[in-house]
Amino acid sequence: MPATIAVLIGSLRKGSLNRKFAQALEGIAADRMRFDYVDLSDLPHYDQDLWDNPPASVTGLKQKVEASDAVLIVTPEYNRFFPGIIKDALDWGSRPKGEGCWAGKPCAITGVTPGATGTAVAQGHTRLAALSVDLVVQHSPELYVQWNDERFGDDGSVKNDQTRKFMGDFITKFAAWIEKHGN
């Protein structure tokens, strides 16, 4: 039975390259994983005062993560960092104290950008934040990819065999990580 992966995408943009990238990974992982995309578009900034009546987007996030076997964070890189929506998701999911949804979940982090470093710096920062909420983060292999016309079609299809293999190797290692660290 395929593992259920809660997928958090750090870009809310309609034509997000990171959403297309996640969908390309989903196609590669189709026989081993089922991606369940968490809608972060209505997630408010973290606000402790909202716990008296938490927004549906918060409870939905927590429910999807709790029902998953693992978490995949797909992040763009904004000013050498991951976007605030990822931080808000991590904060909301870690609360209330003792009732967080992240603890012990296997996690992988990736992302794409048109820039040459392929979200390497943002992924490093995301990895630290994920560890702080007790996600069990896969450190190797890392998947940094530059989005360009040689590798991807406008629809997000993978055009380059080497890129497809690189992505496939990442998915294979993630599947093994889930098997090793999953509940």
Query: What per-residue confidence (pLDDT) applies to 49?
Result: 95
- Specify the CATH number for the domain of residue 78: 3.40.50.360
What percent of the chain has pLDDT above 70?
100
Express each pLDDT in 84-135 by its tens digit. Answer: 999 999 999 999 989 999 999 999 999 999 988 889 999 999 999 999 999 9
Express each pLDDT in 23-50 by its tens digit. Answer: 999 999 999 999 999 999 999 999 999 9
Q: How many domains does the chain have?
A: 1
Which residues constitute the domain of residue 170?
3-181
Between the alpha carbon of residue 22 and those of residues 3, 13, 91, 148, 153, the distances in Å are 16, 14, 22, 15, 14
Express each pLDDT in 62-86 by its tens digit. Answer: 999 999 999 999 999 999 999 999 9
pTM of structure: 0.97
One-letter identity of residue 137? V
What whole-number distance in Å separates Cα of residue 105 and Cα of residue 21? 22
72 within 8 A of 8, measured Cβ to Cβ: yes
Residue 55 has pLDDT above 90, yes or no: yes
SS3 139: coil
139 within 8 A of 99, measured Cβ to Cβ: no
117 within 8 A of 142, measured Cβ to Cβ: no
Express each pLDDT in 131-168 by its tens digit. Answer: 999 999 999 999 999 999 999 998 899 999 999 999 99
**Quick one: DSSP state of residue 49?**
G
